[in-house]
Structure 1
Amino acid sequence: MPKPRKALVSLEATPYYHCVARCVRRAFLCGEDATSGSSFEHRRGWIRERLFQLSELFALDVCAYAILSNHYHLVLHVDREAAQGWNIAEVLHRWHALFSGNELTRRFERGETLFPAELRAVDTFAELWRARLADISWFMRCLNEEIARKANEEDNCTGRFWEGRFKSQALLDEKALAACLAYVDLNPVRAQMAQTPEASEFTSVQERAAAANLADHPNDIPSQPARLLPFAGNPREPIPRGLPFRLTDYLDLVDFTGRLIRKGKRGAIPEHLPSILQRLAIDPKQWGYLTTQFESPFKGLVGTEHRLKQACQQLGYRRTPGIGACRTLLA
């Protein structure tokens, strides 16, 4: 039985989540529709623009993204500490950039004098909205509703645009995170939309590679794209906020993986393995499967057996879904 969203998201277990939204209609979300001859390429720009607009307002960071013809992938990081650090004025400012709020909160933001009971009501609204601004479901709602409205208006039609809400997977440890990042970034290569990761348009890996090519020290956080959560370094050393890998190691990993899954090269394991694979102790053959089939073998939680059991206990599960795949592929 499918789990409700609240049973899949536990920030105590992990702040990292893989989200996928798919278009329900035959007409493509983006790209060109061979049936009608219409081009919807410009919609990929809609999604990316809205994605980063929302990431500025929510307490969520974009770790990876890939926007394809009829679906898109995101890897998101929930920064609950950042949300807790906002004062009431900051919370209201962010919420009012998305929604109208109410008369009390608008009066508070304008600096008008409020009675004590009114101030208590504003505090209540602010705490509710603070939680929503650190919530993946609200983030995806704001993203998908905007795109659906614009697409329906452009197509001069009504009705459902997205296939349900969205799919999410909790990434419980470094192995799951690294595999999912590479899986997302290499989607256009597997779909034969691009020959190399750096040529994959509307992906995070293209942004990261472009910035790295221009930087003297690509692993330095200021040299990395400001709107993506940076690669901060080795987690076994004190590191600043960011992904627990070095950017150059990750790009090496993506290049290795792209060659591994290229047509005619499946199963041909090069002798040179990126250091990140060795550090994470992932078998390269299993890695090839992980980065081509990441959504298929796993349920809503992805991680090593120990982390999976730990997360299921925190979420109150009676069973441990997906433990066989996690035990085999992430041991």
Structure 2
Amino acid sequence: MSFPRSLALCMGLFCCDLAQAASVVFLNPGRSDEPFWRSYAEFMRAAADDLGMELRIEFAERDNARMLGQARAALLGPEAQRPDYLVFVNEQYVAPEILRLGQGSGVRLFIVNSTLTDEQRGLAGGPRERYGNWIGSLVPNDEEAGALMAEELIRQQRRVQPQGGIEMLAFSGVKQTPAARLREAGLQRVLAANPDVRLRQLVYAEWDRGRALEQARQLLPRYPRVSLVWAANDAMAFGAMQAADELGAQVRGRLHFSALNNSPEVLQARVDGRVDVLVGGHFTLGGWALVMLADYDAGQDFARFGGADQRARLFTRLDARQARQLLKHLQQPGYGVRFRDFGARGHPDFSGYRFSLSPLLD
């Protein structure tokens, strides 16, 4: 019995596609049990499956030495085992060392979330300059995220306190991370435009719930007139909320909390009204980066559609309805997203990337 010619041709093309599937290693700087970085990895896996890419994710468990070891293995290991692409984050400013390791490896490098700082670029240059195999980057609008939270917190407080005298506490992440620095910059920009709002103290809780809890136990009694709590991620917001709950309903009732991220816990808290301001969306960034790499691998250089360095306006302020809708999408296989629809491949009229959280809010 012989296969029909058309079927044999289709099978041959399918096998050819499998043989040529682009391979990607992502150096995940977070912990494997950390909700944000776990959801980030899951969204990337959904994108890789839809795009026909091979993806391996290495968790650094927030250990920079471990991350550099993973980079070294991917870039300097046996040539036949090296990936086509290495995707990584400039977490605690390690990117220049990874770029150096990648020289001559044949692996193309792509940075997500936090790219080189201006000072680092002064030494290393930009994509496709000193390091020719560093092909690009995709980062979110972190500064805007910090501003979105601050603006909405202040707006809500002005409903009950239209005159001055508003006081705020702020919980930021790891000081040596670009994301924390940029979100703080957004906060400070809004405070400068609202001089009657006083930031009593900003502390670094290192993205950690327990650390924020201990800090808030000291800060909330110290500043009894504080009404706004700005937190650069959801874990720190929950830590501060727990400290407020411990102080009683009177303290908890006067406080408005912001949070950032898209864990099921924080989405449900927004639905329930326990979180007053929620900004999210950047857990999708790694998946969108794979769309760009799939285009590049197919000969459609993403640099033609917005440059080698790109910024996606992923951070969105979520109301209760949108938080509920996002919760539903998180439970769908592949998140209900056709990633191939967002790239240049197969779209002759493609004019640029328009990555956003919108596909998960419909």
TM-score by length of structure 2 reads: 0.24
> Would you tell me which structure has more strand in proportion to its own residues?
2
Which structure would you say has the larger RCO, counting Cα contacts within 8 Å and 6 or more residues apart? 1
Q: Rg: which structure is higher?
A: 2
